[in-house]
Chains A and B, each alone.
Chain A
Amino acid sequence: DTGVSQDPRHKITKRGQNVTFRCDPISEHNRLYWYRQTLGQGPEFLTYFQNEAQLEKSRLLSDRFSAERPKGSFSTLEIQRTEQGDSAMYLCASSTFPGLAGDQQFFGPGTRLTVL
């Protein structure tokens, strides 16, 4: 296991469709994060899991967004009824706690979503 992987790398969809992304964290990592990044901006926190428990959700997260991590390993992020404003890079990160100083997060390559 060489790092965090995400699938698909690119997704083009029409407005109103549902999409689901998958993230596979580094195998021994118990924490998993989802972020969203638009052009010219830094990543924006969406939600976070420790093992299978979803511990934090951004107050900005629309109820069209849902995330799961059923067995404490991989995670899925679903967006229902997509809107053009959902177009962004969706980044997954993982970390192990307790572990590296500062709970260092390792990022995956991201899924680029384009909503037409």
Chain B
Amino acid sequence: GQNIDQPTEMTATEGAIVQINCTYQTSGFNGLFWYQQHAGEAPTFLSYNVLDGLEEKGRFSSFLSRSKGYSYLLLKELQMKDSASYLCAVRDRDQAGTALIFGKGTTLSVSS
């Protein structure tokens, strides 16, 4: 089966750096995604990791360790608009083929 764990809530201040962790258990790991979802809106793609290491894209970076079943999303220079839910999702070829299996999301609140 699969199990994806991420913190329920996090808070941070403008300009700070925040790291959102995600751990997962899969039998047929085939990639990990991070999505951002503002309240009442659709998820939007942030990053994709399939090999170990760090992927950097502007203020956002994502890290993957397949041996540890672990990923994190790093958000730098936080802005108020970064207040949203951050969803960790994995692709498990043994569970849902090409579809994504999502965690419950981490609600990030950024204050001034």
Contact = CB atoms under 8 A, between A and B. Distances in A.
B100 A105 contact: yes
B74 interface: no
A103 B96 CA distance: 14
A44 B101 CA distance: 7
B44 interface: yes
Contact of A56 (B45, B87, B98, B105): B98
Interface string B46-83: 00101000000000000000000000000000000000
Contact of B45 (A33, A97, A104, A109): A104
Nearest to B32: A102
A108 B98 CA distance: 18
Contacts of A109: 41-42
Contact of A108 (B42, B50, B97, B102): B42
B89 interface: yes
Contact of B98 (A4, A40, A91, A103): A103
Nearest to A58: B96
Interface string A52-71: 00011010000000000000
Given A101-B48, A107-B43, A45 B101 contact: yes
Interface of B: 4, 31, 33, 35, 41-45, 48, 50, 87, 89, 91, 96-105
